[in-house]
Structure 1
């Protein structure tokens, strides 16, 4: 099972594996819709309890295979379909739960006598609405109804917001641990045919943001005053039949004020991988209950998120294939593993981060300065800058100098006197919304993975990654550097998209954040991404 994934379970289901009469002997099917104690999917989602590991069985896969790899306490959800296999359960405290969707049922055509539970394993459950007449040795049958709600504690709260047209944005606020800031927000942007009823989608994506950003900051709004197909990648993708999911990692919810950051001491990339995989399992669960099936998902990581995405894919190579969530990988404008020719600088930067960690500096307040400068600019864009190093520039020109690479990070093509592709006020508005703090350990791991002298385990199995890869980059951003990482994998399905404007030099060419914010982004970046997702 996923070693870093927090176990997941749903407490109450309206769609349950049941036994009924059939023309075939020993065939088990779900009852008809009017026999079920139905609950809307969003009510079930709000009762989702992150306390059990989840395995999905898709139509055409083997239920027995899922049982074989399950551990005690796991729950196995079975997609509607016909399964011809005799099941033997040799483990305690696992649940088999069949799903009823759009009049499709789970049918178990068992060529053996019954589902068999090895004697002594009495706590295994096959969830059933009508528990009579199931002659299996030691497998208990439980009927779930509204009474099961009593005493259940919700770990998640959901909100739904209309974005325009028939596009809606769902947020799921999830408690991932016991600390004050052990929380993430899971996002979904989807086209609906009626309230809470999603249209059938043609592809899917799960998006992980970059440093000092969250899902809304860089993907959904990215400093735009209005969300539409030209300004918002999630909106564009949802409009074109893609089921869009994403996450706000836990550190994005840490405010400006804390003076004691000791809680961040062990918050590294591995923790963000753990949260991302847990969120992807939840996303697959909700997709299954809203008509999209339990299919694995394409994982996109942007900037810092590239480390999370590659690290998650690396980890999943060590899991049984039925336990994996990732079906495709989309690294965007970062290299993850550096070419050996450039390792010296990575080693020195990693060493400086570790020195600060050893001195008790567990957070990296990179976002604090950004927020302050952007807020100053929003208030008075035409005032002359009072910041050292930006003398002679207005506040807006100062922000354009920063955005175009004054500090070494080429967010946007351009210079202090204008951006080539993006409205500079989007960059300013984005700056006011950033996250003030990141874990220092996350920065250390992100850089240390490129240093051969340091042992960082997030890349241990990158050479075993076989999923399709679509590498997207900007010539004025990371450029082709990320190609080296793709060459380390075993993937045979690799495509590259480098946004390169031949009319520009490197400094004014398409930049790092232009991928999400440029006037041309929908045509140059999001359209090719959509086409790749539709193929995968």
Structure 2
């Protein structure tokens, strides 16, 4: 085991004896993690490296909390100390790597990644994968039915405690850290901050809503209908919300772009990805013109290209999706939007909040949630190219992570906020 791994293992095993007063609770929480745990390290670029820790937290097939850290190194296994840290939660059909370090994905992407960008600016970047990302296509998913929001909140707490304990060893910094999330990862960020929040100093929500505005009654009705259908599927024993559509579409667009699609025969394989990315509201109208990537249209109104994120980056995002996703988590997220289930209340959130939206994604619809928290420190930014009459072609949800101009338009302001918090 590396010196870093050994140090953390000792802290986990003997936490209360070694930790300062401010970290004893975290060390006690980590005592439930089985040790030793698996650690890997891989190169990202320059002096930036990616660490992955698999923490066993139970006896079921996927009872692991997979924690990531992207950091600059002084030497192998020796991170460069920082005074700022953030933990990032991924969105749907993704994991930490494919959303935030896509150059390490399978397939690899040309997108440089938000996490390495933040690291290059002196911010320690962490992440945690939800358990449904762990099993392979033919892996054991017998415990998928238990993968709901409560479990994800608990796993997030373990990951945050682990990150703080690690930073106590490597950075001499036991302080709380910022929790950020993208898409449904941002919805989980809100839920964690309202339900627990003990490990976090601030939160950042990247393009999502949690509470729906009164004017968004149609969106609430859609969430209620989706939640009912998903609950019915769960009652029928369906626990896996497969990501095969995105995976197959991405793979075929990369390998046979001009061939007719077996998914939608009236389209080419390239056309399927362009349509899924640019006209996403056809399948998932989270907002009236919601789209993953800003589209360009031909004279007939078909998507002819993508104007912000390259087709290569979008197809890699799709193709690298985990094969499985939890139906229970999907239903519970929709139930939060519907308002039919008890949920953590945003008024319990008192830490600083940063909302970063995309005009063609959740965008302005996410602003209402920022007015529901009790924090006096709220910053909002919606990235947009055009006025409201051109929302259909404006900066998309996934463009926040994969667009050529994402560093200038989105990541720079986010990094500046993190450095102040």
Same fold (TM over 0.5): yes
**Which residue among 171, 174, 179 is the counterpart of 2:55?**
174
Q: Is the 8 A contact 2:93 2:322 kept in 1?
A: yes
Q: Is the 8 A contact 2:353 2:375 kept in 1?
A: yes
Deviations 1:304-342 (A, max 9, x none): 11221111111226xxxxxx1011010111102222442
Match of 1:443 in 2: 330
Asked if residue 373 in structure 1 is aligned to residue 373 in structure 2, the reply is no
Q: Is the 8 A contact 1:472 1:496 kept in 2?
A: yes
Match of 1:108 in 2: none
What RMSD in Å do the two structures reach over aligned CA positions?
A: 2.9
Per the alignment, do residues 155 and 485 of structure 1 end up closer, same or farther by CA in structure 2, a change over 3 Å counting? farther
Q: Distance in 2 between matches of 1:227 and 1:193?
A: 26
Q: Is the 8 A contact 1:54 1:75 kept in 2?
A: no
Q: Distance in 1 between matches of 2:9 and 2:20?
A: 23
Q: Is the 8 A contact 1:48 1:155 kept in 2?
A: no
Q: Distance in 1 between matches of 2:19 and 2:195?
A: 18
Q: Distance in 2 between matches of 1:387 and 1:405?
A: 16
**Which residue among 347, 356, 366 is the counterpart of 1:472?**
356
Asked if residue 331 in structure 1 is aligned to residue 294 in structure 2, the reply is no
Q: Is the 8 A contact 2:29 2:158 kept in 1?
A: no
Match of 2:3 in 1: 40
Match of 2:415 in 1: 530
Per the alignment, do residues 371 and 359 of structure 1 end up closer, same or farther by CA in structure 2, a change over 3 Å counting? same
Match of 1:350 in 2: 227
The 5 Å alignment of 1:57-76 reads: 57=20, 75=28
Asked if residue 394 in structure 1 is aligned to residue 271 in structure 2, the reply is no
TM-score (norm. length: structure 2)? 0.87
SS at match of 1:418: strand
Match of 1:204 in 2: 85
Q: Give the deviation of 1:42 after TM superposition.
A: 2.5
Q: Give the deviation of 1:428 after TM superposition.
A: 1.0
Per the alignment, do residues 220 and 425 of structure 1 end up closer, same or farther by CA in structure 2, a change over 3 Å counting? same
Deviations 1:175-202 (A, max 9, x none): 1211111123211111122222222324
Per the alignment, do residues 153 and 348 of structure 1 end up closer, same or farther by CA in structure 2, a change over 3 Å counting? closer
Q: Give the deviation of 1:396 after TM superposition.
A: 1.1
Q: Which moved more, 1:409-418 or 1:292-301?
A: 409-418
Asked if residue 268 in structure 1 is aligned to residue 152 in structure 2, the reply is no
Larger radius of gyration: 1
Per the alignment, do residues 335 and 51 of structure 1 end up closer, same or farther by CA in structure 2, a change over 3 Å counting? farther
Q: Distance in 2 between matches of 1:505 and 1:75?
A: 52
SS at match of 1:277: helix
Asked if residue 282 in structure 1 is aligned to residue 162 in structure 2, the reply is yes
Q: Distance in 2 between matches of 1:486 and 1:196?
A: 39
Asked if residue 509 in structure 1 is aligned to residue 389 in structure 2, the reply is no
Q: Is the 8 A contact 1:54 1:76 kept in 2?
A: no
Q: Is the 8 A contact 1:313 1:465 kept in 2?
A: yes
Q: Give the deviation of 1:456 after TM superposition.
A: 3.0
Per the alignment, do residues 424 and 449 of structure 1 end up closer, same or farther by CA in structure 2, a change over 3 Å counting? same
Asked if residue 456 in structure 1 is aligned to residue 342 in structure 2, the reply is yes
TM-score (norm. length: structure 1)? 0.69
Q: Which runs of 5+ in 2 are unaligned?
A: 285-289, 297-302
Q: Give the deviation of 1:75 after TM superposition.
A: 4.0
Q: Give the deviation of 1:76 after TM superposition.
A: 9.8
Q: Which runs of 5+ in 1 are unaligned?
A: 1-38, 78-93, 95-151, 318-323
Q: Give the deviation of 1:274 after TM superposition.
A: 0.6
Match of 1:257 in 2: 138
SS at match of 1:506: helix
Deviations 1:89-108 (A, max 9, x none): xxxxx9xxxxxxxxxxxxxx
Query: Relative contact order, CA 8 A, sep 6+: which one is greater?
Result: 2
The structure with more helix, counted as a fraction of residues = 2
Q: Distance in 1 between matches of 2:361 and 2:386?
A: 15
Deviations 1:485-536 (A, max 9, x none): 1211101000001000027821211101100100001111111111001100
Q: Distance in 2 between matches of 1:332 and 1:234?
A: 14
**Which residue among 371, 385, 389 is the counterpart of 2:261?**
385
**Which residue among 162, 174, 188 is the counterpart of 1:294?**
174
Q: Distance in 1 between matches of 2:65 and 2:251?
A: 26
Asked if residue 483 in structure 1 is aligned to residue 359 in structure 2, the reply is no
Per the alignment, do residues 57 and 483 of structure 1 end up closer, same or farther by CA in structure 2, a change over 3 Å counting? farther
Q: Is the 8 A contact 2:90 2:185 kept in 1?
A: yes
